[in-house]
Structure 1
């Protein structure tokens, strides 16, 4: 499985123009980096090098999490508040990536 493409991200957020492609690429790269940081693992497209014992190949769950996070940032360029309370990313995001997290001891 590979990291999401800009076209896949545009489909995910129902966007049909190219004007924001550079911004979407930035959000997708930032989402990848954020997820790597949360998981304490480096994400790879095809295979994990032997030198990286904690690396992981992107699977469907991680790919969807990247799409969700990048899409959330695209739709909500600033902090999200609901009735004056800060809102967190939907629970589905955590459910998708937490099984792959390595928690340092």
Structure 2
């Protein structure tokens, strides 16, 4: 999973003064990843439950997608345009993991 340290580095933040905001963005990004892929995501040390056949461990692509999403939200806090909502790279990174309806 993406850490606050990774997020600070990605957003070029040198201290912890924005951590509450970044944590809010991190939680929203995790929820967005889950919603957009239809999967539950697990840390590399977590065992995926047998009851979750579609669960995945976080991949490098998933972490990068989260960082791009969080970075976009951090940079464009008051987005008034659809072009600033979710970066196209996010979709390219999560596309291979998406589950489609029955």
Q: Would you call these one fold, judging by a TM-score over 0.5? A: yes
Structure with the higher helix share, 1 or 2: 2
- TM-score, normalising length from structure 2? 0.90
Q: In structure 1, what is the equivalent of residue 92 of structure 2?
A: 95
Task: Report the alpha carbon displacement of residue 37 of structure 1 after superposing the two structures with TM.
Answer: 0.3
Report the RMSD for the aligned CA atoms in angstroms.
1.2
State the alpha-carbon separation in 1 of the partners of residues 31 and 20 from structure 2: 17
Indicate which of 5, 8, 29 corresponds to 2:6.
8
Alpha-carbon distance in 2 for matches of 1:45, 1:80 = 34
Deviation at 1:39, TM superposition (A): 0.3
How many residue pairs get aligned? The number is: 99
In the alignment, what sits opposite 1:52? 52
Q: Is the contact made by 2:72 and 2:87 (CA closer than 8 Å) also made in structure 1? A: no
The equivalent residue for 1:70 is: 70
Whole-angstrom CA distance in 2 between matches of 1:80 and 1:100? 29
User: Could you state the TM-score of these two structures normalised by the residue count of structure 1?
Assistant: 0.87
Residues 7-44 of structure 1: per-residue CA shift (max 9 Å, x gap): 11000111112111011011011101011000000111
Give secondary structure in 1 for the equivalent of 2:91: helix
Report the equivalent of 1:79: 79
**Shift in Å, 1:89:** 2.7
Question: Is there any run of 5+ residues in structure 1 with no aligned partner, and where?
Answer: none
